[in-house]
Chain A
Amino acid sequence: MWFLIGIIVLILVVFFLLIFFGYYNRIIRLENRIDNSWAQIDVQLKRRADLIPNLMETVKGYMKHEREVLENVTKARSALINAKTPQENMDANNMLTGALKTLFAVAENYPNLKANENFLSLQDELTNTENKIAYTRQHFNDSVLVYNNLVETIPGRWFASMMHKKTKEMLQIPEESREVPKVKF
């Protein structure tokens, strides 16, 4: 009789352990996915920052008199390089997007510049990194959503508190670009 009870207890313990392992692993995997998606955002931000010096060299000759426009871009780039927290990065990137939008609008007045192969290819590259930042941010927020859902619902929240895991924050999109900021080529 005690033997039977022992077996039942053993089965229950194994059952609980398996569920615990399941949730534990799932939470770890989701956290890794979030870290990975942030890393991807970072890669795109760096690529974007790296394109700017080349862009400046190319337009310098043509747009000599547009000092303010060019300075804004350079300032925004510095802000991006010096940004520390994720949200700072996002805000700096937004500033850069604004500054570049002005630069490309002004470039419309310089037909020689618009015919420059290098300029066109840089423009495409910058548009590309902007879109990629939008999508990597979307993926980051999606990953955070899945993680938060698991960590806040029952029974996930019990395991999460056992592991001292809290909910994570999503990246906020600044007010000006509330609609999905996909840039057109």
Chain B
Amino acid sequence: MEKRLLIEDQIRKNKRDTIIICALMALLFIAVIFAIGFILFRGNIYISLIFALPIAIGYVLTMYSISVPAVLSAAKARPANPKIREEKILIYKVEDMAIAAGLPTPKVYVQDSEYINAFATGRNPKEGVICVTTGALKKLNQEELEGVIAHEMSHIKNYDIRVATVTIAVVGAISLLSEILFYSMFWGGAGRGRRDGNGLLIAIALLFVILAPIFARITYLAISRRREYLADSNGAYLTRNPEGLAKALEKIKMDHPKTKPKGSKTVAPLYIANPFKSMSASSLWSTHPPIDERIKRLRSM
């Protein structure tokens, strides 16, 4: 039942799935706006658009300006030190991967932590940053470290950081709009001049608006998981060695150091493995796919 997918096919499939999911997200967003218009303005769509769009756009724009310094200071990351041999070699390897990917070399940072982990950030490849934990430098061998770096490099190449941020912003916007609607129902009162026969439609629209934030969040998490699979396959293509990352993931699975992970929850989606879960349980609510499934896919390339 397990087909041997060529790396290139996996990449294409993942990209297609992401586009489908993003399109669904966009439709959801538009539907919410229409639903609000229906409820608040007696079906007058245009007024609702004028009302909802500036809020949505404003929200999206503020979210779009990712602050790399903020992410780095939240993670307490420091620039890699070439005088330390491990970190010098890390810098060399990041340069290697940037060459393989055809990108400018991202800045290299290090996070002092016993956990094996890594993340990438930056608005676009020119401003890319890759950060690796000292735990990873100690516990991973050469090919495993290369696999991890290649995975992060692929995130940068695929503009995943931008996709994730905009998607979070849209989810936030949908939630904000739903909340505004809810409060306006409270204060506006039930007698908002509803014509006969519209009652049922308004009830449906209301139900929809309440459920929309939930659907949006599920969609965001689905996108996030797809993108992780894509980074896995792209990374394997860069190193021509899927086994490297597979082995690294196995080590990450077994990695349970005693200290708590650093960094805020919002940064978590950018990590190679979710630092806040001790078991890799897959559910509708994980940003990362289950580790076992990732290892299986890598080994079937």
Contact = CB atoms under 8 A, between A and B. Distances in A.
Contacts of B99: 40, 132, 135-136, 139
Chain A interface, DSSP helix/strand/loop, else mixed: helix
Contacts of A184: 142
Interface string B139-153: 000110010000000
Nearest to A120: B85
Interface in B73-89: 85, 88-89
A131 B96 contact: yes
A185 interface: yes
Contacts, number: 33
Interface string B97-122: 10110100000000000000000000
A128 B102 contact: no
Interface residues of A, number: 17
Nearest to A183: B142
B100 A135 contact: yes
Nearest to A125: B92
A132 B95 contact: yes
A177 to B, nearest CB: 14
Interface in A97-150: 124, 128, 131-132, 135-136, 138-139, 142-143
A180 B89 contact: no
A185 B142 contact: yes
Interface residues of B, number: 15
A124 B89 contact: yes
Nearest to A40: B99
Q: Interface centre among A40, A135, A180, A184, by most B CB within 10 Å?
A: A135
B240 interface: yes
Nearest to A37: B102
B257 to A, nearest CB: 25
B241 A180 contact: yes
A142 B157 CA distance: 16
Given A135-B99, A138-B100, A138-B240, A128 B142 contact: no
A143 B99 CA distance: 12
Contacts of B142: 182, 184-185
A184 B96 CA distance: 13
Contact of B92 (A33, A128, A138, A139): A128
Contacts of B146: 182
A33 B99 CA distance: 12
Contacts of A33: 102
Given A33-B102, A139-B99, A139-B100, A131 B240 contact: no
A33 B102 CA distance: 9
Contacts of B102: 33, 37, 139, 142-143
Contacts of B96: 131-132, 135
Interface in B150-186: none
A117 to B, nearest CB: 11
Interface in B233-273: 240-241
Contacts of A40: 99
Interface of A: 33, 37, 40, 124, 128, 131-132, 135-136, 138-139, 142-143, 180, 182, 184-185
5 contacts: A132-B95, A135-B97, A136-B99, A139-B99, A185-B89
